[in-house]
Structure 1
Amino acid sequence: MLAFQKVDKPTAGKNKIHLDLDASDLDSEVDRLVAAGARLIERRGDESFRWVTFADPQGNEFDVAEHG
């Protein structure tokens, strides 16, 4: 599924498209993405919903969330 959200005030310096992806095993996906060249920016959320923000080698940010 692909969803679009309208942002009223874009943040300067960030990419125009920000992907939010999901994973069944977030910890394994973090390891896989870092090994593939992604830079981990921040782990977020709590025990009810977790996601991690990354940047690709060109600095474009994206998130990966764990689905239940």
Structure 2
Amino acid sequence: MISKLPKWVEVGAFVLALVAGFVNAIGLLSFEHQSVSHVSGTVTFLGTSLFNGSLLQVFHLL
């Protein structure tokens, strides 16, 4: 049994969550403000903060 996940699994999970959040943010901002999913809320806020240029909020969410 694996006691610790390999590093590539952790990085891959982070990248997938990041992409999902960006997709959710694009859907929320452009397609009549409809949310694409409900699981990636923090990453969605991160994506909208990046889009709006709010660096303080970006650092807080990271």
TM range (shorter): under 0.3
Larger gyration radius, structure 1 or structure 2: 2
Name whichever structure is richer in strand by fraction.
1
Name whichever structure is richer in helix by fraction.
2
TM-score by length of 2: 0.25
TM-score by length of 1: 0.24
Relative CO higher for 1 or 2, CA cutoff 8 Å, sep ≥ 6?
1
